Structure 1
Amino acid sequence: MDHVSYPYFTGNPEKKRTDLGVGLPVSRRGALTAPEKYRVRPELVDAVNVALTLGQPLLVTGEPGTGKTQLAYYLAYELNLGAPLKFETKSTTVARDLFYQYDTVGRFQAAQMGGATQGAALGQRRGAVDYIEYQALGKAILFANAPGHYQAATPGDFQHPGQRRSLVLIDEIDKAPRDVPNDILNEIEGMYFKVPELGNLELQAEPAYAPVVVITSNSEKSLPAPFLRRCTYFHMPAPSEQELREIVSLRLEAFDSTSPLLTDALKVMEQIQLPRNGFERKPGTSELLNWLLVLMDRGYRVDDHLRRKTDWIDPCVTALFKLQNDQSKARKLLPQLSFDG
């Protein structure tokens, strides 16, 4: 199948496409997130090994776009633990949500219609279990036991892959209410949880298969001290220029660390980061990679320069900046940037 070239969208109704969109480009995101191309800092290696030795969660903080989430995918890849079981934290998250969710409304409606199991205590538990949906940490604890070990806690449609160790990613825990980290202190330390809807049944991971837990946060300041004491902590700093060169050359194979296009793009990034320019949400590594992908799609070669050109500015603004005020500032600043010095 032939793919059309850039621009894919023209804003001209007379150029309406006739191929039902099948010629549009396939997403390039896979090239930017492949775990085997993750760049690991030496000091991060030490932090991961400390967490594994102590059996503690690894808490990783840092600015957005510094690679916190991708670390979990790389760690699962290198340790051969399969795809991470990911829990995406929300402002409405409660502690139970990390382990399971219970469909109270569905259970009530079934009872009203006579569909809930009645009678013996075991029958009541089996009726309740059908309204449980296990989440990342709950699944990992069940997977750490042989299939059927917790039969009374297993819904009929639950897929158990066989006893295995898993990696759990609890992403952006700072979004949760402050009491959530405190409410899971003992459960994460002991790798267990209780299910009140099943007569307070306790489920615990077999120690040899206890999950590896990675927790990310944009700021350690919002996390309570007792929670921090139970974690191995690592702060992911913003990458240096040389590290960015290495990351780009790993993720985008057309580049090497000295490509002129990359050098000019990094000069743009350097000047954007200057405090005097006043950007509220400064772009990170992922935004840089996105911008370079767009430039390549527009016909730029790795040995091209940005200086004395202006057609890179619009894709730069839309790829790098996520706030209206920042985009407005960028449209004024970028044409004036100097690539010398």
Structure 2
Amino acid sequence: MTGWFIYEGVGGPDPDKIDRRPAPPPWRDFDAEPVPYEVPDIDTATQRRLGSSAVPMSVQDVETLELINAALYLRRPLLVTGEPGSGKSTLAHSLAHELGLGRVLQWAVVSRSELKDGLYSYDAIGRLQDNQLGRDQAEDIGRYIRLGPLGTALIAAERPRVLLIDELDKSDIDLPNDLLNVLEEGEFGIPELERIADRPGQETVHVLTDDGRRVPVTRGRVRCRAFPVVVMTSNREREFPGPLLRRCVSLDLEPPRDQRLAAMVLAHFGLDAYDENIDIVDQFTDAESDGTLLPTDQLLNAIFLAQHAARQQPGRREEIAGLLLRPLDRGPR
């Protein structure tokens, strides 16, 4: 493996890897004062995607690994494109797991998503109701402000968080452009806090994070210290503006095949189950050799079904698995 790699796609966690990166280039060096922040451990979302077995879940070709590591070194977002089922979202979880960076912050983009949805939300109505009821907590505006996934990723922690901005191509036309300044500057303002920053005792306000913690925000500005590991995914449903592409490292991820496909099955089912179901894996790869593109989760579903539903009818294993190995665009037979 190339000696300069921080992320190697080897599966097992090594929290010290990220600290072995060189200092960022001057134009990506962020200097916010660190804030106390306890990052949650890897959660079940990562475990579901990676499986429970300690195998190289994300084995990549060398060029792919070079691009991933280039993004890590340069502190640039990684824009990952590929067919559904190619492992784009899983890559973010693999990065968090291998580099020991805790729970992945996830922002699932939809057509109505706006930049503010990723940055923070302010529950003005909840605060007003508490104020009308005479509750003392209404005086603490921080209780009603919650940072979104992007906003939480920009907290001035000593170590970076992993942020997954999933399916950015589903957004409306403005969101990719709106992201430019935040991703370039590594900071943003919360107007509700900026307006009161000069009041006694309001210069620093503790707000909620996407993880449910409370962190201090000074003078209404959230500024990063270690730029987050940002993975933005796209199913190629639209083109992105040049300024966004220029600020990202672009990676086109091929569907998992050969070693990556075998590693995925091993991670979720173990070696014995892999050997028992090699015929289904071959059925999957044969379908693709005929020009049919199948998402890899169809293979995992087929193996699971074959292991359980087909136990009573072992002679129909391949037939039962084949129910789930049909091209999605052809419908049921």
TM over 0.5: yes
CA 1:293–1:311: 2 relative to 1, 3 Å: closer
Q: Which amino acid aligns with 1:77?
A: H
CA-CA distance at 1:79 after TM superposition:
1.1
Q: 1:193-231: per-residue Cα shift (whole Å, max 9, x none)?
A: 11011126221012xx22211111111733222111111
CA-CA distance at 1:181 after TM superposition:
1.5
Q: How many residues align?
A: 260
**Alignment check: 8 A CA contact 1:249 1:257 kept:** no
Q: Paired residue for 1:49, among 69, 72, 86?
A: 69
Instruction: Provide TM-score, normalisation by structure 2.
Output: 0.67
Residue 154 of structure 1 corresponds to: none
Partners of 2:187 and 2:108 lie apart in 1 by: 20
Residue 205 of structure 1 corresponds to: 224
Q: Paired residue for 2:104, among 65, 84, 100?
A: 84
Partners of 1:194 and 1:30 lie apart in 2 by: 34
Higher relative contact order (CA 8 A, sep 6+): 2
**Alignment check: 8 A CA contact 1:85 1:166 kept:** yes
SS of structure 2 residue aligned to 1:239: coil
Q: Paired residue for 2:80, among 35, 40, 60?
A: 60
Identity of aligned residues (%): 33
Give runs of aligned pairs for residues 137-176 of structure 1, distance below 5 A.
137-142=150-155, 144-145=156-157, 163-176=158-171
CA 1:185–1:261: 2 relative to 1, 3 Å: closer
Partners of 1:81 and 1:257 lie apart in 2 by: 35
Q: Paired residue for 1:234, among 240, 246, 251?
A: 251
Instruction: Provide TM-score, normalisation by structure 1.
Output: 0.66
Partners of 1:62 and 1:251 lie apart in 2 by: 22
Partners of 1:264 and 1:90 lie apart in 2 by: 34
Residue 326 of structure 1 corresponds to: 330
Residue 248 of structure 1 corresponds to: 265
Asked whether 1:179 is paired with 2:190, we answer no
CA-CA distance at 1:117 after TM superposition:
8.0
CA-CA distance at 1:115 after TM superposition:
5.3
Partners of 1:93 and 1:269 lie apart in 2 by: 35
Q: 1:62-83: per-residue Cα shift (whole Å, max 9, x none)?
A: 1111001111111111111112
Partners of 2:49 and 2:193 lie apart in 1 by: 43
CA 1:77–1:112: 2 relative to 1, 3 Å: same
CA-CA distance at 1:141 after TM superposition:
2.1
Q: Unaligned stretches of 5+ in structure 2?
A: 1-43, 196-219
Partners of 1:258 and 1:294 lie apart in 2 by: 11
Partners of 1:198 and 1:322 lie apart in 2 by: 52
Q: 1:10-38: per-residue Cα shift (whole Å, max 9, x none)?
A: xxxxxxxxxxxxxxxxx9x9576238541
> Which contiguous aligned blocks of 4+ residues in structure 1 show a shift greater than 6 angstroms?
none
Alignment RMSD: 3.4
Asked whether 1:316 is paired with 2:322, we answer yes
CA 1:245–1:92: 2 relative to 1, 3 Å: same
Q: Which amino acid aligns with 2:98?
A: E
**Alignment check: 8 A CA contact 1:87 1:170 kept:** yes
The structure number with the bigger radius of gyration is 1
Q: Which amino acid aligns with 1:316?
A: G
CA-CA distance at 1:188 after TM superposition:
1.0
CA 1:257–1:237: 2 relative to 1, 3 Å: farther
Q: 1:247-283: per-residue Cα shift (whole Å, max 9, x none)?
A: 4345432225993443234324544x44xxxxxxx53
**Alignment check: 8 A CA contact 1:246 1:257 kept:** no
Asked whether 1:130 is paired with 2:147, we answer no
**Alignment check: 8 A CA contact 1:66 1:285 kept:** yes
SS of structure 1 residue aligned to 2:331: helix
Partners of 1:320 and 1:221 lie apart in 2 by: 28
Q: Which amino acid aligns with 1:103?
A: D
